[in-house]
């Protein structure tokens, strides 16, 4: 985890670390049409849901995990964490190596554009033709796929 946030209803009221993240204080994720669909996914599930990857208000790109907090069945707020994409790529060794034997893809249908997006950058322009294995990751509506480049 790179950043922790607390949201009162849908507004960010606390963030740690504060340094470098000051710009998000007062930001209402439920009022923003670029974020509210995935925030509401967490609320409807009444469970953690990971949004993105998204361009963050404080800069950079990351995945935001939000957990709704209810009081008497009414949404009280959300706790949130941000994991920067660089952290995920380093920890998971998810770099798509153009000289490697397989490709790795993390894809998702963008809830706003309805387009399929691939979140692992690749310089490899060749078409993979080997065995493909894919697995859904429900907590973010992603699909992780690994495919041999050659049969």
Gap between the terminal Cα atoms of the chain: 38
Using a 10 angstrom Cβ sphere, with 0-12 exposed, 13-18 middle and 19 or more buried, the burial of residue 106 is buried
Range name among 8-22, 78-92, 135-149 with the lowest pLDDT average: 78-92
The pLDDT tens digits of the residues spanning 83-132 come to 998 887 777 666 656 677 888 888 999 898 899 988 876 666 667 888 99
């Amino acid at each position: 985890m790179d950043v922790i946030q607390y949201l009162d209803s849908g507004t960010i009221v606390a963030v740690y670390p504060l340094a470098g993240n000051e710009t998000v204080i007062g930001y209402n994720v439920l009022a923003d049409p670029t974020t509210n669909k995935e925030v509401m996914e967490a609320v409807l599930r009444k469970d953690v849901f990971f949004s993105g990857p998204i361009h963050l208000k404080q800069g950079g790109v990351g995945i935001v995990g939000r957990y709704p907090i209810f009081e008497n069945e009414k949404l009280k707020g959300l706790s949130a964490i941000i994991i920067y994409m660089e952290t995920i790529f380093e920890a998971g060794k998810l770099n798509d190596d153009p000289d490697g034997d397989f490709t790795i893809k993390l894809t998702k249908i963008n809830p706003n554009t309805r387009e399929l997006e691939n979140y692992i950058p690749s310089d490899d322009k060749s078409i993979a033709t080997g065995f493909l294995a894919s697995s859904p990751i429900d907590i973010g509506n992603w699909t992780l796929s690994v495919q041999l480049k050659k049969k």
